Chains A and B, each alone.
Chain A
Amino acid sequence: MTTSLREDITVEEKALLAEVGYEEENERAGTCVLVDQAVRHIGLTDNAVEILPLAEALRRYDWVQDLMFGLIDPDEDERIAEVAESRHAPVGHFVRVLEGAKVRLPIQLFTLLAAPQGRQFHHNITVIEKGAEVEMISGSAVPRSVHAGHHVSLSESYLREGAICRSVSIEHWAANMEVHSYARSRLEKNAHATDSVIQLAPVKHHVSQSRSYLEEGATANDQSVIYAPVGTTRIMDSETWLKGQGSRSESITRMVTAGGVISNRSTLIGDASGTSGFLGCNGLKLTDEGEIFSVPALRALNAQAQLSHEASIGMIDQEKLSYLMASGMSEDEARDLIIQGFLNLDEQKIPEAVREEVIRAIAAARSGAM
């Protein structure tokens, strides 16, 4: 595999990215860093992994053009159309894991918005080939000096037959930014995806829309932890299509508002026999300000689809609070511990490498330091 770019990222940039999962590149199978409107850096340590700027991948492989806008309609909305306009010269990464490869170290992918009031339009494509297995860590970050900007991203992921992908994404945008992200993934026969999404930092307005399509025997597990302080609005809309026989999914979303607005609409569609799916949406509302609007929806198109959901929104349980306070901690300390517990991700699903960043991000979010 060729490495097309080796322009370095600065020490400051590395420090910033470390908060969202960056590790030294000998600890990673591959690294890609997008800064503003360019692919700044690509590094590879594993021959089974290929990472290219998408524009170059299009030139190199004629089949990549069939993947681009293969899962997303360029005319779906005006923002997507705006990104689609520059489809001849897209900015974004192309990640490919070769057939049958069991990639030992994670791949890490980052987006940095470094220009104040910058505008980013990214298009990313990922292909995990037949039988390959990989872990991915993706993070987005903004220097402290940048407060406002706009980020739009489209990402299309293809998990070929029997592919396994475990991914974690940590987003740390700036308090006055607008973000629109569109994610599409196709899980082919017996493919398996585990996704963890961590969105704890303040952002003015974040709209994320995702669609996944599961073919025969494919399984998807995802868990998201979402935090909205005062001034943050997050709008999430996801659809999981159980299209192939026996495909299964489980999705858990934990939302905490400390005065911000969270709207979460997730739909599970059972479109084949022997499919089963579960949606769990739990919200914790800490103050009277803000809002949680949670709409878990089930749609059965097949008589043999088993779908269920569980949803709740509540405040911090007084009994738990008193229990902790009876051991000598203050009410604030007890609250922190309960919120942290609520937002805790299932540790087994998080690669070792990002666990610490996650704990730190949660700690910072609950203390209002982010």
Chain B
Amino acid sequence: MPAKPLVLADVEIAVGPRVLLRRLNLTIGAGETHILFGPNGSGKSSLLSAIMGLPPYHVTRGEVRLGGERIDNLPVDARARLGLGMAFQRPPELDGVTITALARALRADAGLADAAAVLDLADFVRRDINVGFSGGEIKRWEILKLFLQRPQICLFDEPESGVDLEHIAAVGAAMERLLGRDGTGDQRRSALIITHTGFILDHVQAGMGHMLVNGEIICSGDPNRLFAHIKSHGYTLPPWASEPAAAASDERIAS
């Protein structure tokens, strides 16, 4: 399955009557990596969940398109089969369902041992998913899950938070490998990555960053520059930043 661009055009996201995000315009081109910054409660996880199609998040305005096909009305499994995958911030515990059982259900048992070793989870394959996992183990498992699933567009919700300094390099390397940037010849996947710490910027090459405040993308630009700005000035509009509705991004949405 070739990578396809993911496009959000004037999207509003709500839970029931409550609008959480609005006026979202975002294009992630095939093979691109984007970073999403924003304070707690700004709507980052809600955005990823809505793109993935997870209840109770609904797109109540605008469109989400994957390679030209509208996906915002499709159920979550259909979106997954079209190539979307997500590493959850707070995944549920699945009593009695082992990592091995999930790999088998995804017909990915062949690659399990290797991928698990990369993420230092070789001893976990017989354990129930997320049951009793530590914070860092959950994060590593969520990335391992994407290795089994091999989606074209990977949505990462704080993949490095809670991961210790020794494992963070492994997480970074695994993400790089998953996204096809480590030269192993795997095809390039696209990504949208939420981060607070910016750690991940040392490991994956991201082309674009976005700042989400109060349910709106207030600016986009070079992710390293954006992160440097946030570190010194908080989640404020940088003087150099392009406004989200600037001509350049409008052009991309139209394409």
Interface residues of A (CB under 8 A from B): 317-320, 322-331, 333-334, 336-338, 340-344
A320-B94, A331-B77, A343-B96 known; A326 and B101 CB under 8 Å?
A: no
**In the assembled complex, B37 has its CB within 8 A of some CB on chain A:** no
23 contacts between A and B (CB under 8 A): A317-B92, A320-B94, A322-B55, A322-B76, A323-B92, A325-B76, A326-B53, A326-B76, A326-B77, A326-B86, A327-B148, A328-B77, A328-B85, A328-B149, A328-B151, A330-B77, A334-B77, A337-B102, A340-B96, A340-B101, A341-B96, A341-B97, A342-B95
Which residues of the partner chain B approach A338 to less than 8 Å between Cβ atoms?
94, 97
Interface residues of B (CB under 8 A from A): 52-55, 75-77, 79-81, 85-86, 88, 91-92, 94-97, 101-102, 105-106, 128, 145, 148-149, 151
Residue of B nearest to A323 (CB): B92
Residue of A nearest to B155 (CB): A326
Which residues of the partner chain A approach B76 to less than 8 Å between Cβ atoms?
322, 325-326
Which residues of the partner chain B approach A326 to less than 8 Å between Cβ atoms?
52-54, 76-77, 79-80, 85-86
A322-B54, A341-B101, A341-B128 known; A329 and B96 CB under 8 Å?
A: no
User: How many angstroms between the C-alpha atoms of A273 and B41 in the bound complex?
Assistant: 53
Q: Are B86 and A328 in contact (CB under 8 A)?
A: no
Partner of A340 from B53, B55, B97 at Cβ < 8 Å: B97
User: How many angstroms between the C-alpha atoms of A247 and B60 in the bound complex?
Assistant: 60
Q: Are A325 and B77 in contact (CB under 8 A)?
A: yes
Which residues of the partner chain B approach A325 to less than 8 Å between Cβ atoms?
75-77, 80
Give min CB distance, A254 to chain B, whole Å: 9
Rank and list the top 5 A-B pairs by shortest CB-CB distance, nearest first: A341-B96, A344-B96, A341-B97, A325-B77, A328-B80
User: How many angstroms between the C-alpha atoms of A329 and B55 in the bound complex?
Assistant: 16
Q: Are A328 and B81 in contact (CB under 8 A)?
A: yes
Give min CB distance, B147 to chain A, whole Å: 11
Give min CB distance, A13 to chain B, whole Å: 32
Q: Are A328 and B92 in contact (CB under 8 A)?
A: no
Which residues of the partner chain A approach B102 to less than 8 Å between Cβ atoms?
324, 327, 337
Q: Are A327 and B96 in contact (CB under 8 A)?
A: no
Give min CB distance, B212 to chain A, whole Å: 21
User: How many angstroms between the C-alpha atoms of A343 and B85 in the bound complex?
Assistant: 28
Q: Are A327 and B75 in contact (CB under 8 A)?
A: no
Residue of B nearest to A346 (CB): B96
Partner of B106 from A318, A322, A329 at Cβ < 8 Å: A329
Give min CB distance, B151 to chain A, whole Å: 8
Which residues of the partner chain B approach A317 to less than 8 Å between Cβ atoms?
92
User: How many angstroms between the C-alpha atoms of A322 and B105 in the bound complex?
Assistant: 15
User: How many angstroms between the C-alpha atoms of A317 and B95 in the bound complex?
Assistant: 11
Q: Are B95 and A329 in contact (CB under 8 A)?
A: no
Which residues of the partner chain B approach A323 to less than 8 Å between Cβ atoms?
88, 91-92, 94
Residue of B nearest to A331 (CB): B77
Residue of B nearest to A342 (CB): B96
Question: Residue among B91, B95, B105, B128 with the most chain A CB within 10 A?
Answer: B105
Residue of B nearest to A336 (CB): B105
Give min CB distance, A317 to chain B, whole Å: 7
User: How many angstroms between the C-alpha atoms of A320 and B75 in the bound complex?
Assistant: 15
Which residues of the partner chain B approach A329 to less than 8 Å between Cβ atoms?
77, 80, 105-106
Question: Residue among B52, B96, B128, B148 with the most chain A CB within 10 A?
Answer: B96
Partner of A327 from B55, B92, B95, B106 at Cβ < 8 Å: B106
Which residues of the partner chain A approach B85 to less than 8 Å between Cβ atoms?
326-328
Partner of B105 from A320, A337, A344 at Cβ < 8 Å: A337
Residue of B nearest to A333 (CB): B105
Question: Residue among A322, A327, A331, A337 with the most chain B CB within 10 A?
Answer: A327
Residue of A nearest to B76 (CB): A325
Contacts A337-B97, A342-B96 known; 12 new A-B pairs at CB < 8 A: A324-B94, A326-B77, A326-B85, A326-B86, A328-B81, A329-B80, A331-B75, A334-B77, A337-B94, A337-B105, A340-B101, A341-B101
Give min CB distance, A247 to chain B, whole Å: 29
Give min CB distance, B17 to chain A, whole Å: 20
Which residues of the partner chain A approach B105 to less than 8 Å between Cβ atoms?
324, 329, 333, 336-337
Which residues of the partner chain A approach B92 to less than 8 Å between Cβ atoms?
317, 319-320, 323
User: How many angstroms between the C-alpha atoms of A317 and B93 in the bound complex?
Assistant: 11
Partner of A318 from B52, B53, B55, B94 at Cβ < 8 Å: B55
Residue of B nearest to A327 (CB): B149
User: How many angstroms between the C-alpha atoms of A324 and B92 in the bound complex?
Assistant: 10
Which residues of the partner chain A approach B94 to less than 8 Å between Cβ atoms?
320, 323-324, 337-338, 341
User: How many angstroms between the C-alpha atoms of A297 and B149 in the bound complex?
Assistant: 45
User: How many angstroms between the C-alpha atoms of A129 and B151 in the bound complex?
Assistant: 60
Question: Residue among A323, A342, A344 with the most chain B CB within 10 A?
Answer: A323
Residue of A nearest to B80 (CB): A328
Give min CB distance, A329 to chain B, whole Å: 6
User: How many angstroms between the C-alpha atoms of A319 and B52 in the bound complex?
Assistant: 13
Which residues of the partner chain A approach B95 to less than 8 Å between Cβ atoms?
341-342
User: How many angstroms between the C-alpha atoms of A325 and B101 in the bound complex?
Assistant: 14
A322-B76, A326-B76 known; A337 and B101 CB under 8 Å?
A: yes
Give min CB distance, A322 to chain B, whole Å: 5
User: How many angstroms between the C-alpha atoms of A327 and B76 in the bound complex?
Assistant: 9
Give min CB distance, A250 to chain B, whole Å: 17
User: How many angstroms between the C-alpha atoms of A329 and B96 in the bound complex?
Assistant: 17
Residue of A nearest to B88 (CB): A323
Which residues of the partner chain B approach A331 to less than 8 Å between Cβ atoms?
75, 77
Residue of A nearest to B146 (CB): A327
Give min CB distance, B227 to chain A, whole Å: 28
Residue of B nearest to A344 (CB): B96
Residue of A nearest to B148 (CB): A327
A337-B97, A340-B97, A341-B94 known; A327 and B128 CB under 8 Å?
A: no
